Amino acid sequence: MNRNILRIVAHGDWDGVVGAGLLARVYDVPLEFPLELADLVIEDAACIEITPGRVSSIRNSIIIDHHATETHPYTDEKGNVWILNPEYRAVSSLIADQWSLEFPSEWRTAIEEVDTANLNSPLSKTLWKAYRVDAKGFPRQKVAEMVKKGEWEQLGKWAYEKKEEYRKVEEKTKELLGKSTNLTSESVYFTFQFSNRWERGASKDAMLLLEEKNPIVVAIAVEEKGIKGGTIATRRNIDLTKAYEHLRKKGYTSGGHRNVGGFQALKPKTLEQTLRDLKSALENLKEET
């Protein structure tokens, strides 16, 4: 394949990132994992699961994909070479075979399982969770670099540690749900330790779960000194702005949207005080019909 490849542009999921790391052994060029695709103009690149329909244009590039509903000539009118094989469960496997690259079978299978959401092996379960714990912050360059160097053991260790983080957040979410209590007839609350990063992460998941069954949910952040503040949310047709207004009169800064907002105590308050203030703020809120 006679191509002037200046960069590798890849999808940012496990399959795309591992595929990019493998291909970087062939083309020693910068890797890119764009989150916004629509405006991209790509030239002289190897594109992994990045196809012309998703970006502004692609020219003089190699396009590698295993998702295909259409067929392409080997070279299209824009000078792109297509390597398209829908028989592959993952683009990383396709890349490994196409360029005869070392790709341990345990990893090959795990990436295929993750990419098809069919988690059987312990490794694929670990990878799935390691990604889910923070998809946005997934360290794509670092992961691809480890793949490029064949540092599978190190990559596995990293993924295992991330999975443990995920497990801790899940555990904490259960704990927070377990201690949620009614505040008014329409609302529930729970408290969480603001200094604990697992509880901080879990408070968001716990709120989402509680919102499914309760009209109003309040998460209260507790610090050593007392109440730091909190979040109020609803998925019903309830206007929370009146509650923020009430809380501002009670010594908090408070504001936000109609359906979600927050409050911070200007001076440390005890939990009892804050619960009293919240009760009076939420008491008269009704679902509008």
Residues that bind Mn ion (CB under 5 A): 15, 91, 115
Closer CB to Mn ion, 138 or 252, in the complex: 138
| Residue closest to Mn ion (Cβ) | 15
Measured from the CB atom, the residue of 112 and 211 that comes closer to Mn ion is: 112
Q: Based on CB atoms, which residue is closest to Mn ion, 115 or 277? A: 115
State how far the Cα of 227 lies from the Cα of 173, in Å rounded to an integer. 20
Give 10 or 222: the residue with its C-beta nearer to Mn ion: 10
Inter-axis angle of helices 91-98 and 105-115, nearest 10: 140
Side chain identity at 185, as an amino acid letter? Answer: S
Beta carbon nearer to Mn ion, 89 or 148 = 89
Distance in Å, CB of 135 to Mn ion, minimum: 15
Shortest separation between residue 67's beta carbon and Mn ion, angstroms:
7
Q: CB of 76: closest distance to Mn ion in angstroms? A: 21
Half-sphere exposure of 184 (CA within 13 A, CB side): 18
Closest approach, Cβ 59 to Mn ion, in A, equals: 23
Least distance in Å: CB of 115 to Mn ion?
A: 4
Find where tokens 């907002």 sit: 261
User: How far apart are alpha carbons 202 and 12 in whole angstroms?
Assistant: 25
Secondary structure (3-state) at 174: helix
CB of 78 to Mn ion, least distance (A): 23
Q: Dig out the tokens for 73 from the structure.
A: 């000539």
Query: What gap in Å lies between CA 267 and CA 221, rounded to an integer?
Result: 14
Rounded to whole angstroms, the Cα distance separating 240 from 186 reads 12
Closest to Mn ion by CB, 46 or 91: 91
Q: Provide the token pair at 57.
A: 């244009």
User: Closest Cα partner for 198 from 226, 175, 223?
Assistant: 175
